Amino acid sequence: MRLKPIFALMSLALAIPRVLVYTRTLGYRHDSIPTAIATLSSNGPTHSIEFEFTEDPTQFADENLSRFDGIMFVSTSEEVLNGPQQDAMARYLRSGGVYVGVHSASACLYNDTVYLQAVGAYFDYHPSLQPATFIRLTSHPATSPLPDRWTFTEEVYYWRQDPRNQSATILLTVEEGSYINDAASTGNYTFGSPHPIAWFIENPQYGGKVGRSFYTSLGHTNETWNDGIFIAHVFGGLKWALDGATTRAYGAGVVGNNDTVANVSGSVSGTSAAASTSASPVSPSGPASQPSSGAQGLSVASAAIAAAAGLLTIL
């Protein structure tokens, strides 16, 4: 049953997209970061995505970044890259690399124009954590798993800019009467209506052979990261961004995973090893979740090799 996504991928490409997940914080640190890492790593094989997790800013150098189809910032805070590292990320994005941001990914690199173009808007403030009702605006892989009105306990972010100014299409908004705005802006900002909560950018404005971008402001708590609907939302957005096919895993571009099927086993077991050192095990619940284990990663790898072998025979 799990083989289906692998077969689907193999018919399109001979490599699994590899995504660098960056969780470095120099300001506020979310205690849900280990849960986020565990959720991403345990669900990666289901979606045929290989994750590497890091808080090491030296990864942001041309050669290192060129191995990745996507960069994912999860709950980062403040100035998590220096100038040359920001420049390397800008070159990466202009080379077709994909950007995905989750939650306080919008609360870092405040003076980086290219980062703003990738993430869409910078965080201003949020009212206290409380239940709120989020409303789906558009049908998209990131929103199709969601109910039309989705009420749960989550932070409602306010912005310093309108992401629509960065060519964003807003996917989710919030019902303003569903929560109490008990905090104040840090400036005199406007961010347009409806209130942006999650969005995608088909053609980010940094130029070059751009890859797609996806951002969601949800993802504050462990409960959110264990919610199957949220997991499907994040993976829907990530897969949509990768499916822009601007990278090597999709047979295009100059960045991304160019390992052929002969190396699939190595790359998938590498993912499991990375996950086991950086993530504490959790038991995610919900339809999109899947237990995490190295053995499972290897069995998926074997399936991928079998699938690829089948394909090669046909070809």
| Minimal distance, residue 149 CB to ligand NAG, in Å | 26
Of 251 and 310, CB closest to ligand NAG: 251
| Token digits of residue 46 | 């289901």
The CA distance from 287 to 306, in Å, is 26
* Cβ nearer to ligand NAG, comparing 3 with 254: 254
What is the rounded distance in angstroms from the CA atom of residue 310 to the CA atom of residue 295?
A: 23
Q: How far is the CB of 231 from ligand NAG (least distance, A)?
A: 15
Please give the DSSP secondary-structure letter assigned to residue 5.
H
CA 95 → CA 98, 212, 240, 314, distances in Å?
9, 11, 18, 33
Task: Closer to ligand NAG by CB, 150 or 158: give it.
Answer: 158
**Rounded to the nearest whole angstrom, what is the least distance from the CB of residue 178 to ligand NAG in the complex?**
23
Binding stretches for ligand NAG (CB under 6 A): 31-32, 34-35, 56, 58-59, 61, 63-64, 66, 79, 110-111, 161-162, 165, 188, 190-191, 222, 258-260, 262-263, 266, 280
Per DSSP, which regions of the chain are E strands? 18-22, 50-54, 70-74, 98-102, 123-125, 130-136, 149-154, 158-159, 168-174, 198-201, 213-216
CA 218 to each of CA 143, 166, 172, 187, 258: distance values in angstroms, whole numbers, following the listed order: 13, 20, 10, 22, 32
Give the nearer residue to ligand NAG in terms of CB position, either 64 or 299: 64
- What is the smallest separation between the CB atom of 58 and ligand NAG, expressed in angstroms? 4
User: Are 241 and 120 within 8 A, CB to CB?
Assistant: no
CB 240 to ligand NAG: min, Å = 24
Q: Name the minimum Å distance from CB 151 to ligand NAG.
A: 20
Residue 14 or 146 having the CB closest to ligand NAG? 14
Q: Which is nearer to ligand NAG, 47 or 160 (CB)?
A: 160
